[in-house]
Amino acid sequence: MYLIIYGPEGSGKGTQANLLKAKLNLPVITSGDLVRAKAKKNHTVEGKICRKALETGQYVPDYVMFKLWREKLESSESQKGFILDGFPRNIHQAQFLESVISKLNYCLDKFIYLKLSDRQSRSRLLKRNRKVYEGSSISHDTPERINQRLRTYHQMEHELVEFFQKKGLLAEINGEQSVEMVFQDILAKLNLNI
């Protein structure tokens, strides 16, 4: 099964991805993990770009994300199935993803869209207070950084959701429910309720 889990930061994407991972025995692949792994290799051009993005709260440019994702999607692990968390974030990334996986002869099963209000997102992220990368003293979750990321998210949200809706892949979920209820709703949309 090939799944995308999408929503604003704080919507519980990571939590739900890990619950699905345990149930379906699929790897979770996140943009954040790919970016943080590359940021540790600061001597490469991509590593420097990733580190700068993490330090400033900006998103990594598409051309860098495409390189990181192409390497990951072409791996034998990915071709057996996956849960993508944090990718695609915009329409260009969605088109790129579709292009790469069609060449690899597989297709997406569902785009799981966790809807969450900005108020809830801010509240959850302020409690989380994650650092920009391991060993950093800089908080990723200050009010200014959170607001900036939410603004960027909303600029791309509608077009991306519409893209997957037109393909019949959209599974919209109320992300403001309890973790258990969100998970049950996801399983129902995937026809996996047991």
Domains, the chain, in order of start with CATH, read 2-30+81-189 (3.40.50.300)
Supply the pLDDT for residue 194.
55
pLDDT above 90: percentage of residues in the chain: 64
* Tens-place pLDDT, residues 126-138: 888 787 767 778 8
What backbone torsions phi and psi does residue 30 show, to the nearest 5 degrees? Answer: -120, 145
CB–CB of 99/74 below 8 Å? no
Binding-site residue positions for ATP: 10-15, 128, 177
Q: Binding site: what residues are annotated? A: 10-15, 31, 36, 58-60, 86-89, 93, 128, 130, 149, 177
Q: What angle do CA 175, 17, 106 make, to 5 degrees?
A: 115
Going by the annotation, the residues of the binding site for AMP are 31, 36, 58-60, 86-89, 93, 130, 149
SS (H, E, C) the chain: CEEEEECCCCCCHHHHHHHHHHHHCCCEEEHHHHHHHHHHCCCCHHHHHHHHHHHHCCCCCHHHHHHHHHHHHCCHHHHCCEEEECCCCCHHHHHHHHHHHHHCCCCCCEEEEEECCHHHHHHHHHHHCCECCCCCCCECCCHHHHHHHHHHHHHHHHHHHHHHHHCCCEEEEECCCCHHHHHHHHHHHCCCCC
What is the rounded CA–CA span in Å between residue 47 and residue 35?
8
* Structure confidence by residue, pLDDT tens digits, 72-110: 999 888 989 999 998 898 999 999 999 999 999 989 999
